[in-house]
Amino acid sequence: GIQVEQSPPDLILQEGANSTLRCNFSDSVNNLQWFHQNPWGQLINLFYIPSGTKQNGRLSATTVATERYSLLYISSSQTTDSGVYFCAVAREYGNKLVFGAGTILRVKS
């Protein structure tokens, strides 16, 4: 099956810093989503981005489908950005998503 690798596994930032999270996947995909799992365990969908670039406030994401990777940018980080960021993909149009292991982000004030 498709493999999803996320890097880095852990990241500690000072409040206000910027960061880039990476997601590599082993096969072509028609569905790619980024999620944030907050410290209370809630999963929030950040982007549906099988290709191209999207921005939402301080967050943006870019997927280069031909090269099988996606990047999540967090600018001017805040302590509320802390949590685990997951990349999830599916080969077909659907939601049998394969999740990466996540990037644990800690933002310190």
Partner 1 sequence: NAGVMQNPRHLVRRRGQEARLRCSPMKGHSHVYWYRQLPEEGLKFMVYLQKENIIDESGMPKERFSAEFPKEGPSILRIQQVVRGDSAAYFCASNYRQGVSGANVLTFGAGSRLTVL
103 lines the binding site for partner 1 (CB under 8 A) = no
Min CB(67)–partner 1 separation in Å: 20
Instruction: Work out which of 83, 86, 89, 107 binds partner 1, going by CB under 8 A.
Output: 86
Instruction: Work out which of 35, 83, 89, 105 binds partner 1, going by CB under 8 A.
Output: 35
26 lines the binding site for partner 1 (CB under 8 A) = no
97 lines the binding site for partner 1 (CB under 8 A) = yes
CB-based contacts of 58: which residues, under 8 Å, 6+ apart?
A: 74, 75, 76, 77, 78
